[in-house]
A = this chain, B = another copy of it.
């Protein structure tokens, strides 16, 4: 097993997915150096992990990542695959601990690209305080993939007590977002279409576990947390409204959007409320706790543009209504169709 892969010039071959010698080389020379930890060093087909802290339950979440292009302003598929799943675990009120990572590689992918992606995953995992404890690699023929797809599953521990849920929003609650909307989707789109705007748009791809921990420690009664990824804020609010059997009233003027994103959306005929985010959260809490929650969000680097954007109301139809900037009202529907495929 001593042959060294030529990571700089080599490409993924079908034999890297064989389970044999070539697969072992790829694992030992690309994956293990990046992710090295006591669990992977066990060297078995599964990882043995300690039990959660006494009284804690578990949270499990998964996401497949097929973003195109693989590298984009502000991130890449590797970091995104960590952030997406860490955030899904964190939104349940849990502390993310462990990740699995499954790779579907396309024959011909430059090994240098794979190494860059894997290193980015490892860096994102370290920053998020999670450990990649197990993984798998398959290879598909040229033209049956698109470079690399990565599925991650996260497991975390949930402290005793009430956990935030999409079903826990109550009429009268305040609705907050942790920052500007639409950054990730517009960064991908501008990269994909070769568009350049006056101000470059960066993805907001980031792990929100720290922001969530601060929020939960603040004493504010957090009823609901969710990250508005695919489908954007509008779709996320509709999901929560349906789950909690409530309506929502949103103030358009209060929704933070970066000027460059707003301009790009206007130019392209897109609505930032339907554009994916990868480093933002929606928080819902009693109105009396809203200012405290807002202050905690704004005190964190990932929440400095946080805002209270609306409130939960009684509505059996579960409508999400927008008070427009111009004093009108309109229904904020679920995303229909898909203006931006393969955004994450």
Chain B neighbourhood of A336, CB < 8 A: 15, 20-22
**A residues 4-37 with Cβ under 8 Å of B?**
14-15, 17-24
- Interface pick from A61-69, A172-180, A208-216: A61-69
Asked if A137 is an interface residue, CB under 8 A from chain B, the answer is yes
Query: Taking A151-B102, A337-B15 as contacts, is the C-beta distance between A57 and B47 under 8 angstroms?
Result: no
Residues of A that sit less than 8 Å from B by CB: 1, 14-15, 17-24, 42-52, 55-66, 88-89, 91-92, 94, 98, 100-104, 133-141, 143-146, 149, 151, 153-155, 158, 163, 165-167, 226-227, 229-231, 235, 239, 242-243, 274, 276, 334-338, 341-342, 344
- Docked Cα-Cα span, A30 to B43, in Å, equals 37
Q: Are B100 and A335 in contact (CB under 8 A)?
A: no
Bound complex: CA of A104 vs CA of B63, how far in Å? 10
Rounded to whole angstroms, the CA-CA distance of A201 and B105 in the bound complex is 29
Q: Which of B23, B44, B59, B338 contacts A22 (CB 8 A)?
A: B338
Instruction: Given A23-B230, A235-B20, answer yes or no on A60-B155 (Cβ-Cβ < 8 Å).
Output: yes
A102 contact from B45, B64, B229, Cβ within 8 A? B64
Given the known interface contacts A47-B61, A336-B20, A336-B21, the answer about A143 and B140 at a Cβ–Cβ threshold of 8 Å is no
Contacts of A141 in B (CB 8 A): 341-342
The answer to whether B60 and A19 have CB atoms under 8 Å apart is: no
Q: Report if A51-B62 is in contact (Cβ < 8 Å); known contacts: A88-B45, A88-B46, A336-B20.
A: no
Within the assembled complex, what's the spacing in Å between the Cα atoms of A215 and B242? 48
A interface, by DSSP: helix, strand, loop or mixed? mixed
- Whether A15 and B59, one on each chain, are in contact in the complex, defined by CB atoms closer than 8 angstroms, is no
Query: Which residue on chain B has the smallest CB distance to residue A19?
Result: B230
A153 lies within 8 A of B50 (CB): no
- Provide 24 A-B residue pairs closer than 8 Å at the C-beta atoms, listed in order of the A residue: A14-B341, A15-B336, A19-B235, A23-B230, A24-B239, A42-B167, A44-B92, A44-B243, A45-B92, A46-B94, A48-B59, A50-B58, A58-B58, A58-B155, A60-B133, A62-B136, A64-B138, A64-B151, A104-B151, A138-B342, A140-B146, A141-B341, A144-B146, A149-B149
